[in-house]
Chain A
Amino acid sequence: AQSVAQPEDQVNVAEGNPLTVKCTYSVSGNPYLFWYVQYPNRGLQFLLKYITGDNLVKGSYGFEAEFNKSQTSFHLKKPSALVSDSALYFCAVRDIGHTGFQKLVFGTGTRLLVSP
């Protein structure tokens, strides 16, 4: 089965500094990878996805992610963090079950805290 790992429970960064939230994946075949963000008392919102093509994927709110096949990573990045970026971030991978049904498998989440 496909899986993703988020090695950091929390990432702290000062406003204006670059941020990175890490994700590594384990898949058979070509990975379909996603990032979602959860603000307090809200559902998860889609940020970006990698299906194929360029290794650098641009998404919502100025976020981007770099797909690295050799390191099996899909880290989320932003050049300059904002306090409003503070939230819970989830990496996910598409899994295809034995019936062919496709669903997403999520990581454990990383809390990003941006200080003023």
Chain B
Amino acid sequence: DADVTQTPRNRITKTGKRIMLECSQTKGHDRMYWYRQDPGLGLRLIYYSFDVKDINKGEISDGYSVSRQAQAKFSLSLESAIPNQTALYFCATSGLGAYGYTFGSGTRLTVV
């Protein structure tokens, strides 16, 4: 099993729909992150979490929300999806000091 698992792998949804992307990890890391990847823009941070009680906005949090249900689970929600949220979404984890991340395989989301 992968260290960081994202579900679903691919999703097509309609404008205005609510959608949740899920991430779970077996690394035992406290820190979890959600990034969005767009061509030419690299990876941009949406939200990050130190532990279940600590959640912080990243550089592009508008239109997104997150839930840290447990140390191992970190979900990203789009309350009302819009087409410019079409992107590849990555979950990542790290230990203390962010010396390196472990990434999930990504969720490709298309909003039509």
Contacts and interface: CB of A to CB of B under 8 A. Distances in A.
B49 to A, nearest CB: 10
B100 A101 contact: no
Interface SS of B by simple majority: strand
B45 A103 contact: yes
Interface stretch (B12-20, B64-72, B79-87, B102-110): B102-110
A46 B101 contact: yes
Contacts of A104: 94, 98, 101
Given A103-B45, A107-B42, A44 B98 contact: no
A104 B97 CA distance: 10
Given A32-B99, A44-B90, A51-B99, A106 B50 contact: no
Given A34-B100, A49-B99, A94-B98, A108 B41 contact: yes
A30 interface: no
Contacts of B44: 106
B105 A109 contact: no
Interface residues of B, number: 26
A90 interface: yes
B104 A43 contact: yes
Contact of A109 (B42, B103, B104): B42
Nearest to A32: B99
B90 A43 contact: yes
B74 interface: no
A45 interface: yes
Contact of B42 (A45, A46, A90, A102): A90
- Which 10 A/B pairs are nearest by Cβ-Cβ distance? A43-B103, A102-B98, A108-B42, A106-B43, A44-B103, A43-B105, A106-B42, A109-B42, A46-B100, A43-B104
